Amino acid sequence: MKTFVGFNYHKTTKRFVAQYKDGQWDSGRMMRKSTVCLSEAACVIQYAQTCFEGLKAYRTKDGHIVCFRLDLNEQRLHDSCERMVIPPIPKEMFFEAVEKVVKANAKWMPSYESGGSLYLRPVVFGKDSVVGVKPAEEFEFRLFATPVGNYFADKVRPLVLRVSDVDRAAPRGTGHIKAGLNYAMSLYAITDAHEKGFDENLYLDPANRTYVEETGGANVLFITKDGTLVTPKSDSILPSITRRSIVTLAKDAGIHVEERRIAISELKDMKECGLCGTAAVISPVGKVKDTQEEYTFSMDDFDNTVLGGLRKKLLGIQHGDISDDHDWIIKVI
């Protein structure tokens, strides 16, 4: 199996597809066809009625393929569906789709040695035609797989972020769910950030523009000078499964953890900074540029930082090298 550099879509062999019509989900089936045919007035096209998930299947040293805490992805997709007026995917169908897609695409799984993984993307969207603003009555659920490497670059290196001057999610809006519309809101800012040489945008709380929220695709972690792990608490950020897992691993290791609001001005007191998520794992941040200030973190020797140690532990559990004391791993093959 060749090595997959970066985080891109590669069409794999089969995907799981189910339809919702006349008030119920059908039982779904595996399909070779990777394209979707829609009405020009489909609710997803007109009014962005869609939400999704992101999870990975990992290869272990002894040749198995495993998933990580997929019950939490199922729960979050359920919450996203409810907020988007989409009928939630039956729990059993979600788990069946993951199992079938991993098994049908096992040949696409990057090797253990490559450090890559098979990224799974469940997505659900409104299909029937609307012109007036209202939710669809027919929906499609798809779960496809694509082999991936690192999210940010060909190798792990300290990222350079800028504080975004536009917001990603409104107060009391949809920042806490995984709706496509949140990512649409970030496309202008990410394009502009890349053009100006930044890797990502750091968003501030939309009500006050004072507190750190998250980036376009990951939550944020800090280590203070006295070794405390601090991570933002906010109703308008995505409840990252990776972040919740890191918090548990940090506590296991005796690290003091604070989940609270973090003012942007506090960044000058932080020793380490990292982004965390399924795609990002833990990616080190070397610099955050605000309009007046520039905050730097000593992340060059990432392996020897607290966040570097937590990344190693998390990947060790996910790839079966470290014992899974919390029963987070589900063996698929």
CA distance 220 to 232: 7
Contact at 8 Å (CB) between 307 and 313? Answer: no
Nearer to ligand COI, 124 or 279 (CB): 279
Residue 140, contacted partner among ligand PLP, ligand COI, none, CB below 5-8 A by kind: none
Contact at 8 Å (CB) between 314 and 281? Answer: yes
Nearer to ligand COI, 49 or 278 (CB): 278
Q: What are phi and psi of 37, to 5 degrees?
A: -110, 125
Q: Which of 238, 250, 314, 329 binds ligand PLP (CB under 6 A)?
A: 238
Q: At what angle do helices 91-104 and 70-83 cross, to 10 degrees?
A: 120
Nearer to ligand COI, 130 or 238 (CB): 238
Residue among 271, 276, 272, 267 nearest 314 (CA): 276
Q: Which of 242, 283, 305, 318 binds ligand PLP (CB under 6 A)?
A: 242
Quote the least distance from Cβ 117 to ligand PLP, whole Å.
12
Residue 87, contacted partner among ligand COI, ligand PLP, none, CB below 5-8 A by kind: none
Contact at 8 Å (CB) between 266 and 252? Answer: no
Residue of minimal CB distance from ligand COI? Answer: 54
Quote the least distance from Cβ 119 to ligand PLP, whole Å.
10
Q: Binding to ligand COI by residue 175, rule CB under 6 A?
A: no
Nearer to ligand PLP, 193 or 241 (CB): 241
Q: Binding to ligand PLP by residue 246, rule CB under 6 A?
A: no
Give the per-residue contact string, 53-92, with ligand COI (x = CB under 6 A; - = no). -x--------------------------------------
| Among 74-82, 206-214, 272-280, 290-298, the segment contacting ligand COI (CB under 6 A) | 272-280
CA distance 203 to 164: 5
Q: Binding to ligand COI by residue 215, rule CB under 6 A?
A: no
Q: Binding to ligand PLP by residue 218, rule CB under 6 A?
A: yes
Contact at 8 Å (CB) between 128 and 134? Answer: no
Q: Binding to ligand COI by residue 279, rule CB under 6 A?
A: yes
The residue type found at 93 is M
Place of tokens 């979707």: 36
DSSP state of 45: H
CA distance 88 to 79: 8
Half-sphere exposure of residue 303: CA atoms within 13 angstroms, side-chain side:
0
The Cβ of residue 85 has, within 10 Å, a number of other Cβ atoms equal to 12
Give me the residues that bind ligand PLP (CB under 6 A), please: 54, 214, 217-219, 238, 240-243, 277-278
**Residues at the contact surface with ligand COI, assessed by CB under 6 A:** 54, 217, 277-279
